[in-house]
Every structure is written in C-alpha cells, then in structure tokens.
Amino acid sequence: MAEARPHRRADRPATLAIDRLRIEIAMQRGVARVVDDVTLEVWPGEVVGVIGESGSGKTMTALSVLGLMPRPARIAAGDIHLQGQVITRLPDAERRKLRGDRVAFIPQDALRALNPVLRVDRQVGEPLNIHRGTPWEKAKQRAVELLGAVHLPHPAERAREYPHQFSGGMQQRAMIAMGLALEPELLIADEPTTALDVTVQAQVLKLLREIRDTHGTAILFITHDLGVIAELCDWVYVMYAGAVLEQGPVERLFGQPAHPYTQMLLRATPTVRTVQAELLSIPGQIPQPFDLPAGCRFADRCPQRFDRCAREPPHIQVESEHTARCWLLEGEPVRLPHESGIDAMRPSTRSG
C-alpha cells in the first residue's frame, strides 16, 4: 500500500510545518543540542503523535511552536510555519496573540496550569475575553457551553467551582475546554493523560477524537505511551536524543517498524492483551544533548550497529512516506523474527 499521507492536502499548506528545526541551550559543559534538525508536519484533521523518552526533545519542540521555551533555549536554525506563515522569530506580543487563539496547549499537569484562585468559568472564558474582547458575562456563559461540550457533568454548577474541587480528569477537561474556546487550528497536547487513571484517560482520548471529527482540528500529541499513540494517532514521529529517527503512518510504525530503536521500544513495552515471555530491554542510556555521538545517535545501544553507523544516516525511504534514519535500510529492509514484537508468544496469524 504505497499511499501518500492521507491528510495531506494539495490546496492548502500544512497546519503546522516544522522545518529542520534546531534548538540549542548554552551550558557550562558546552552547547546542548536538544532539538536537532527536526522536520515535522501536522495537517488539518490529522492527529500526529510524537513518541519519545526523556531527553528526546519532544516537549521542547512543542514549546518552540508556542513560544514557551525556557529562557536559555534558543532556536539556532530552521523554521516553524503555521498555515504557511513563518512564526519562528515572532516577537512576544505577536506570539501571545497566537496562543489560545490559533494554537492551544494542553499540558500534562492540568492543576498546575489552572489558576487556583479563579473559578473555572472565569478561566475557561478568559481566552474569549482576551482575544475577542467578549464581555465577561458572555464569556462565562460560553465557558459553560464549552464545559458541556467536553462532557463535564453538570457544567453550569461545576463552572462556578475552583480547580482544586475538580478531579484530575475534570481538570483536564477544563483545560481542553479552555483550549477549544477560540476554535484553534492546532491543538498541542503534551502528555495530557499520563497522570490520569486509565479509565479517565480513555474518556479524554475519546474526547480528543471527537474534537478532531467535529472541528477538523489538527492535533499534535506528545507522549511516551505507545498504546495511546496506537489508539489515537494517524501519523507518528519517533524522537530520540533530539532527532526524528522514524516517521510514518501509525499502522506501519507498529506493524513494520523500520528503525531498530522503534522495534526495541515496542518490544520493551509490557502489554495487557498478549503474554510476553520476556521484555526486551535496551541496554545503556540515552546520550546527553551536549555529548552527542558523531554518527548515528542510537548506535551505541543498537544490537545491529555496523561500520557505516559512524556516520549519521539521513532519512531513508522505507515505503512511500514512511522513512527512518538507519543505514540498514539501504539494501535489504530490516526483518526481525517477530515483526512488531507484540506477538512474542502467539504464532503469527497475519498473512504475508
């Protein structure tokens, strides 16, 4: 199936296009390249997942779009485009207009993102007041509607409460409601369900799918949880030590992962629905951003490394728009005994 990216449109630009982005932080030990030559797109109505462990650069990438990077970090190269408009070096005042209005952010810890001394309706209505000049009474009414839209039970009563009176799942819904207030083109969610119980997580993921279906919002979903990516996302970028190592449609990433890191990550993840004889653990650790190796950044942990790995591989096409940065792809595609690693105990029932 050599399909191009299904959500790609010929008639308009991508909602978000990050082009060869490089983010550096000057530290005593040297310059830390926390995001290294990252290219990433999100199309309207597409849910793009960015998977990575700590130090992968996924959060920094998201923050750069929002203009919320911590002070010592700077964009050293590359560009960020929102609907074709370059926003990389937008001054703060312009950036603030974008946030909430065109790009919404749902962070991991909703409680810390909410103001504890303001009632929920005041907060959820705030973007309307600030960006559209909506008077407070109307903004708060709209807030109640938005809370209803995210399936918060008894929204009119709940809206008058304070954030600490909400459960974790409810707080996250309030954040999502706030994020949707101005019908943004792009929603960036950074581990929004990691701190939530699994049943609550399921509801929040369902809500995000609904939002995408109803409004055609582009969603950039950052997580370390492979299961969530598999459930929610259309397209996936796998990040490691600041770089994108593999990217492609979700079925291919999970069914036929091309990069050894992706393969090993899948086999290191304990699953609920199948029995695993043994979890494959990846030896070693993620390299530090100020101490990146000269060649492939995953090489020292990779059981399949060979002499070419001393040079960093470019993005190599696996099939159609599925690419991975691995020299093993030049020539024979990589095959492992168990393709996705998930079926460790079950004999393969897939054809082909």
Partner 1 sequence: MSGNLLQFRSVTKEFESGLLPWTRRRMRAVDDVSLDLRAGETLGIVGESGSGKSTLLRMALRLLRPTSGQVLFDGRDVGALQGNDLKQVRRRMQAVFQDPTSSFNPRQSVRQILLAPLEVHGVGTRDSRLRQVGDTLDLVGLNATFIDRYPHQLSGGQRQRVAIARAIILRPSLVVADEPTSALDVSVQAQILNLFKQTKRELGLTYLFVSHNLGVIRYISDRVAVMRLGRIVEIGAAHDIFTNPQHEYTQALLAAVPDADVTRRAAE
Chain residues binding partner 1 by CB under 8 A are: 53-54, 168, 197-202, 205, 224-232, 250-251, 254-255, 264-266, 268-276, 278-283, 285-286, 340, 342-343, 350
Give whichever of 28 and 199 is closer to partner 1, judged by the CB atom. 199
Closest contact distance (angstroms) between CB of 292 and partner 1 is: 17
Bridge partners, residue 180, by sequence: none
Phi, psi of 164, deg, nearest 5: -70, -15
Q: Are strands 316-319 and 322-324 parallel, antiparallel or unpaired?
A: antiparallel
Closest contact distance (angstroms) between CB of 100 and partner 1 is: 29
Closest contact distance (angstroms) between CB of 33 and partner 1 is: 20
DSSP state, residue 319: E
User: What tokens were used for 273?
Assistant: 């629905």
Give whichever of 35 and 228 is closer to partner 1, judged by the CB atom. 228
Closest contact distance (angstroms) between CB of 280 and partner 1 is: 7
Closest contact distance (angstroms) between CB of 227 and partner 1 is: 4
The dihedral over CA atoms of 141, 143, 144, 147, expressed in degrees to the nearest 10, equals: 170
Give whichever of 76 and 202 is closer to partner 1, judged by the CB atom. 202
Distance of CA 293 to the CA centre of its chain: 25
Give whichever of 96 and 301 is closer to partner 1, judged by the CB atom. 301
Half-sphere exposure of 284 (CA within 13 A, CB side): 12
Distance of CA 237 to the CA centre of its chain: 8
Give whichever of 127 and 169 is closer to partner 1, judged by the CB atom. 169
| Strand ranges inside 28-92, DSSP E | 30-42, 47-52, 73-82, 85-86
Closest contact distance (angstroms) between CB of 128 and partner 1 is: 33
Give whichever of 117 and 275 is closer to partner 1, judged by the CB atom. 275
Amino acid identity for residue 203 in this structure: Q
What three-state secondary structure class fits 110?
A: helix
Give whichever of 66 and 220 is closer to partner 1, judged by the CB atom. 220
What three-state secondary structure class fits 141?
A: helix
Structural element, H or E, at residue 290: none
DSSP state, residue 299: G
Closest contact distance (angstroms) between CB of 190 and partner 1 is: 16
